[in-house]
Amino acid sequence: MKKLIVILCAVVAVFGLTSCKSSSPSDTVKAYYKALQAGDYEKALSYTDITDQETIQKQIAKYKEFDIKVVDFEILSEKISEDGNSATVEVKSTLASSFTEEPDESTNEMKLVKVDGKWKIHA
């Protein structure tokens, strides 16, 4: 079951829209997780680099189907590449879903890229 939550977390991080107003990779990841906490899946997806509307709608349906809820999260580290166009943010999160009886904690590295000068979670 723990592997399933890790996979779901990775799926959550993979899909989305564009448009984010974050000044650092960590700010983008924080905004993404806060939107997930609020159940605003469309807003969460706006912090990623996928723009295909069909993919976005499918991902929103998955979030709702799996009833993914972010219980808590913490940014552990941030590494920006030398050229300043990519980054990795390590985040520890506690997620609940319809697949588990109790929330599951995991640590993931999220890859980010700059798109039009804004940090986006890379799918």
Query: Is the pTM of the predicted complex or chain greater than 0.85?
Result: no
Q: Sign (positive/negative) of CA torsion 3, 72, 33, 22?
A: negative
How do the domains of the chain map onto residue ranges?
2-121
Query: Rounded to whole angstroms, how far apart are CA atoms 44 and 50?
Result: 12
Number of residues in the chain: 123
Give φ, ψ of 39 to 5 degrees.
80, 15
Tens digits of residue pLDDT in 105-121? 999 999 999 999 999 99
Rounded to an integer, the average pLDDT of 48-52 is 91
CATH topology classification for 2-121: Nuclear Transport Factor 2; Chain: A, (3.10.450)
Mean pLDDT over each residue of the chain, to the nearest integer: 86
